[in-house]
Structure 1
Amino acid sequence: METKYQRVILKLSGEALAGSKGFGIDPATVQTISQELREVHQLGIEVAIVVGGGNIWRGSIGSEMGMERAQADYMGMLATVMNALALQDSLENLEVPSRVQTSIEMRAVAEPYIRRRAIRHLQKGRVVIFAGGTGNPYFTTDTTAALRAAEIDADVILMAKNNVDGVYSADPKTDIEATKYESLTHLDVISKGLKVMDATASSLSMDNDIPLVVFNLNEPGNIKRVVLGENIGTTVGNQES
């Protein structure tokens, strides 16, 4: 099959791994995501993944408890490592070779993030899972996705959302007049304050001319549809398509 993209970064929220539970790691959900990733991998696509940790811990929760923000963020980074290891195990049970690379070194469980090694893994057909965020507090995993996409020269960032099929002018769950955008520019996202990714991540994507496709993860087969070039979700780039 002819594919639209050759090297992609899939941004998964921590909540995506929690399934209907809303917290923790749901094995059935992780397996379903892994099976879809196997189908994409079998097309010869080079797949890298940035995973969040909100299903286990959020820095904002720590702040509400009076915890120092940096400390809370580091705990969130550790949560992303747990998610990455669960995803790696599920992929390898399906015979999809994978590597976890962390921004914070923990050599007993994962490789440290090394840009050239990550690219080499991708070239050898291994799925690379980036964990630990950027390794710095005050940055989200959205920013990690934009940063890693620029570093490994990814063709696109696939923003997989839970039960949201694109970018809307307002929250479609609370505003019946919310309209869906087929395409946007990064500048539109920033100026309109749309909740696609945080401003730092949007700026990074704009500066490095990295397109985004925002789509519904919960629709079976959507990851494969996106890489094959089907027009689903919302495309964000430096020029409207």
Structure 2
Amino acid sequence: MTNFICQRILLKLSGEALMSEKGGSIDADILKRLAGEIKELCDAGIQVGLVVGGGNILRGAQKASEGLDRVTGDQMGMLATVINALAMQDALEYLGLQVRVMSALKINQVCEDFIRRRAVRHLEKGRVVIFAAGTGNPFFTTDSAASLRAIEIDAQLMIKATKVKGVYSADPEKVKDARFYPRLTYDEALDQRLNVMDATALVLCRDNNLPMRVMNIFEQGAIMRLMQGEDIGSLIERGTKA
């Protein structure tokens, strides 16, 4: 049996990763491809928790800047993540996987409430667990929700899937000589204000000693290769004190 670097992971996908290049909020082909990558992990015995953002549908902070009440905007954003979670659930179930969507908001007619012990039990039974509705509170991003859920389920690694290779000093699509960081600490990411995750998410990971890997989700088979020990993307760890 192949040895993997960890048995349980939390995968954070941005909502924008699901968008069609033609402008649609959810691209069925992208869903199928991502579902196939996750199925490969599950078939190998890796337990997968998943958080999907809602930016392809609505961003609460953006709506607030346009005049909408921030709390209302964030609540709308939470509901957008539920829509994405249900779409991902359908794509995974089509491939034969058992999936549970667990929401931080009570929406019992479409998904389960988030209960930590139940989530862990689902994972132990080989089910994919998709955590929806963020933390259930306004003013917190889905990055923070991903960090929180990863810690709660005792994930050994959080993977943030992006559109670029990993962590850079600036947007590599806009700055040609942006520096790539194969390794860095959470303190370095915070001090340099690198655009990895919001500060709350980084501090949660740092203080709970949860390593994070930032990588390109559009690189076919990259997550499985990472699980097999290949050095992919950028690794962020707590670091040691001198």
Which bin holds the TM-score, normalised by the shorter protein?
A: over 0.9
Between the aligned partners of 2:23 and 2:239, the Cα distance in structure 1 is 36
Q: What whole-Å deviation, never above 9, does each CA across 1:27-49 have from its counterpart, x for those lacking one? A: 11000000010001111000000
Q: Which amino acid aligns with 1:235?
A: L
| Cα separation, partners in 2 of 1:23 and 1:196, compared to 1, 3 Å | farther
**Identical aligned pairs, as a percentage?**
49
Partner of 1:136: 137
Q: Which amino acid aligns with 2:28?
A: P
Between the aligned partners of 1:135 and 1:22, the Cα distance in structure 2 is 28
Partner of 2:102: 101
Q: What is the TM-score with the length of structure 1 in the denominator?
A: 0.97
Matches within 5 A, 1:78-117: 78-117=79-118
- Secondary structure of 1:20's counterpart equals coil
1:208 to 2:203 alignment? no
Equivalenced residues, count: 239
Partner of 1:44: 45
Kindly state the Cα deviation for residue 144 of structure 1 after the two structures are TM-superposed.
0.4
Q: What whole-Å deviation, never above 9, does each CA across 1:114-165 have from its counterpart, x for those lacking one? A: 0000000000000000000000000000000110111111001000002x00
Partner of 1:232: 232
Kindly state the Cα deviation for residue 225 of structure 1 after the two structures are TM-superposed.
1.5
Report the aligned-residue RMSD: 1.0
Contact in 2 for aligned 1:4/1:229 (Cα 8 Å): yes
Partner of 1:10: 11
Partner of 2:153: 152
Partner of 1:26: 27
Partner of 2:166: 166
Partner of 2:182: 182
Structure 1 residue runs without a partner (length 5+): none
Kindly state the Cα deviation for residue 79 of structure 1 after the two structures are TM-superposed.
0.3
Kindly state the Cα deviation for residue 186 of structure 1 after the two structures are TM-superposed.
0.5
Q: What whole-Å deviation, never above 9, does each CA across 1:199-233 have from its counterpart, x for those lacking one? A: 00000000000000000001111121122221010
User: Which of structure 1's runs of 4+ aligned residues deviate more than 2 A?
Assistant: 19-23
Select between 55-64 and 18-27 the one with higher mean Cα deviation.
18-27
1:76 to 2:77 alignment? yes
Structure 2 residue runs without a partner (length 5+): none
Q: What is the TM-score with the length of structure 2 in the denominator?
A: 0.96
Between the aligned partners of 1:170 and 1:149, the Cα distance in structure 2 is 27
